[in-house]
């Protein structure tokens, strides 16, 4: 099958907390305006981080190429090809989930898909997607929450446990750098990569798509540092108190939960979604960590395609 057509663009976005004109960059694989047979809803892909752009999720183009499903990627404001705001680093009142919910609504309306769409959110993107679904938007049909926590307390607890499995010298380096405020040092970065190679992506060498996202992060860590903190298990940003467990019952759409055996989103991190969302299904990838779309690409696409109705069960 020939690759799906591709369209890129930028959408104006404004926020009362800044006078800077903002733009959200997007890329569509497939066509939104031409009816397909069988019909395919647009799939909107929400990347993680926060502040780690869409590149590492590009394997999802397979869904457009194989099933003729329109797949929409975008970079959330503050990262990737969208507007950067480095002057807003550490501005806790600016970088909030509400900012990104507003951006998401703006994107849906601008593309004209707000009445009929599906969402796949990965990591922070799954948190954002769940928040969006809690608001019960009428156009949302199906939700995929991949490798995401419902609360940061369980996320940090799981990461701390996984950290104890790292070599002792790596643990010592991490602890010392955090204590001495050297989390931007080269030795801390090298120690972090040991964790990433076990619990973020187990493919060696790291896939080019993930390297591209990390390169963007290295250029500008404003959003990640402000909302998350210096690393996956050293969470000191505004998301430190994130907890939507009490609102998960408000999600009424069919929901697919995804995690990996070696994922930092361990089973206890995903469990609240499964317990509280009435129409939830859960798939755990046996050979993956935090990025099964890269680690078990073929199986990942089949699981997603079956859930979205592209493929017979």
By annotation, the residues acting in catalysis are 123, 263, 290
> Looking at the chain, how many residues does it have?
313
Alpha-carbon gap, residue 267 to 252, rounded angstroms: 22
Query: Closest by alpha carbon to 214, among 48, 96, 68?
Result: 48
Alpha-carbon gap, residue 313 to 309, rounded angstroms: 8
Full 3-state SS string of 241-266: HCECHHHHHHCCCEEEEEEECCCCCC
Query: Closest by alpha carbon to 139, among 119, 167, 164?
Result: 119
């Amino acid at each position: 099958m020939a690759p799906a057509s591709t369209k890129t663009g930028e959408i104006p976005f404004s926020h009362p907390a800044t006078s800077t004109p903002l733009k959200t960059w997007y890329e569509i694989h497939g066509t939104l305006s031409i009816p397909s047979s069988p019909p395919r809803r647009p799939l909107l892909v929400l990347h993680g981080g926060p502040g780690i752009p869409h590149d590492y999720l590009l394997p999802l183009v397979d869904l457009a190429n194989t099933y003729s499903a329109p797949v929409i990627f975008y970079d959330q404001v503050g990262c990737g090809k969208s507007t950067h705001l480095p002057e807003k680093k550490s501005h806790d009142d600016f970088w909030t989930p509400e900012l990104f919910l507003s951006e998401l609504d703006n994107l849906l309306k601008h593309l004209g898909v707000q009445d009929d769409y599906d969402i796949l959110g990965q990591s922070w993107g799954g948190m954002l997607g769940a928040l969006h679904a809690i608001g019960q938007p009428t156009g949302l049909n199906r939700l995929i929450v991949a490798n995401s926590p419902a609360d940061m307390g369980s996320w940090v607890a799981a990461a701390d446990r996984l950290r104890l499995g790292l070599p002792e010298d790596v643990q010592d380096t991490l602890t010392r750098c955090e204590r001495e405020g050297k989390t931007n040092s080269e030795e801390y970065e090298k120690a972090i990569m040991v964790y990433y190679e076990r619990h973020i992506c187990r493919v060696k060498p790291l896939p080019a798509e993930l390297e591209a996202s990390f390169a963007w992060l290295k250029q500008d860590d404003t959003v990640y540092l402000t909302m998350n903190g210096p690393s996956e298990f050293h969470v000191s940003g505004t998301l430190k108190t994130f907890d939507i467990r009490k609102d998960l019952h408000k999600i009424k759409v069919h929901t697919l939960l995804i995690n990996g055996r070696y994922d930092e989103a361990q089973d206890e991190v995903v469990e609240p979604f499964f317990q509280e969302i009435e129409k939830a299904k859960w798939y755990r990838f046996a050979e993956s960590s935090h990025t099964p779309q890269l680690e078990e690409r073929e199986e990942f696409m089949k699981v997603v395609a079956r859930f979205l109705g592209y493929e017979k069960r």
